[in-house]
Every structure is written in C-alpha cells, then in structure tokens.
Amino acid sequence: MRRTTSPQPDGTEFSGKVEKMSERAEATRRKLLEAAEEVFAELGFFRASVAEITRRANVAQGTFYIYFKAKEDIFRALVRTMSHDLRQELAMAVASITDRAEAERVGLETFLHFVTRRRNLYIIVRECEFVDPELHRWYYSRLAEGYMRGLRQAMARGQFRQLDAEAAAYALMGAFHMVGMRWALWEGRVPPREVVESVVSIVLHGLVPRPGEGDPGQPAG
C-alpha cells in the first residue's frame, strides 16, 4: 500500500518488469526463491553457491540468471519479502487493538511467531547487514517507521509516556530481535510464555518496582 512512495534501495523491484510471466516461469521463479531461502539460511550468503541453489530447485544453473541478475539479487528479493510479510502481519495483528500496551504484547508475539515460522527468512535478514548494508538499513528504518507511528499515537493519547520515539522504537525492536535470536534461532521455537511475559513486562513497566509494589513480576529465572 505504501510501497509506491517509500524509498527503494534497489533498482530491481517494480522496474517495468510488469510483463507477467507464464505459469511455468512463475513456478520456476518460486522454486528458485524457495531453494535460495533454504540454502542461504543453511550456509550463509557467501558460502552458498548458485549451483547449490539450482540443484535444490531442480533447474539448470543457467536458468537462475533468467530470473535473477546475480546471486545478490535473489538475496535481496528474499529480504524484501520478509520486510513486506512481517510488516503486513504485524499491521494486521495490531489493527483492531486500541490499547497500545496490549498492542505491544501482541506485536512481540506476532514477531516471535513469525521468525519462528520463517526462521530461514529471519536468518537471511540478519545477514543482510553484511551482504547489502543499504538494504539492511532500509529494512530497519522501514520497520522503525511503522513502530514509531504506533508509539507516537500512544504517547499522544497518554497511553505511553513522552519519550524519544525513535530511541524507543530501536530499543524495543532490539529487545525483540535479541529474544528472537536467543529462542527462535538458537532453540528453534517460540520463547516460553514466562520469557515473553517478562519482556513485555519490562517494556511496559521497566525493571524498577513501582513504589508500594510488592512485586508483580515473574519468578526469577
């Protein structure tokens, strides 16, 4: 929806390649993307080879270059996919929630489910920093934008305190990301409920107990 006006750090997307492909071509392209997602996640961008990708996609090596100009190209396509899908999923999950605190919880959960379900894509996005730094910045800036909008709204409504929205957005994204790494990537599963609760709790109420508070937190881990 907002796709048209936002900056595209790459020349590839949306470039007149509007001529729609045949079914067969579409299928081949998809096979390549799927194979690449797997291979990049397993080996990393640099150790991955186009040969391995085409092998898994069951096409000849040359076929790769019909659909992508270069190895980096397919990588970028995957990052953009993740950017799009994740933001869309977050937007949908939060759409109907008016309590921003609740939205934070749902946002975190959505994120964690997303990166667990699409672990491979998540790994790819993380490596993007070292493959195409500009795209990587674009990815996070884009995510932060959306986040900041939500935060500012909540601040305006008095649901959240007045804070530097950008600082908050990056801090929260960072917290979520690291938790995603620790549990989704390292353990291959959505973090256990207590972990999510603790994180949400910190984000909403901080580490310091409120005055006159016995202790509403989690049992220590």
Partner DNA sequence: CATGAATGAGGCTTCATTCAT
Partner DNA sequence: GATGAATGAAGCCTCATTCAT
CB of 135 to a copy of itself, least distance (A): 13
CB of 170 to a copy of itself, least distance (A): 5
Residue from 13, 30, 70, 202 in contact with DNA (CB under 7 A): 70
Q: Give the x-and-dash track for 78-107 against DNA (CB under 7 A).
A: ------------------------------
The listed partner (a copy of itself, DNA, none) that binds 194, CB under 5 to 8 Å by sort, is a copy of itself
Told to check if 47 binds DNA by CB under 7 A, we report: yes
Residue from 14, 30, 42, 49 in contact with DNA (CB under 7 A): 49
Residue from 6, 13, 14, 27 in contact with DNA (CB under 7 A): 27
| Cα(28)–Cα(26) distance, integer angstroms | 5
Contact residues for DNA (CB under 7 A)? Answer: 21-22, 24-25, 27-28, 47-51, 59-66, 69-72
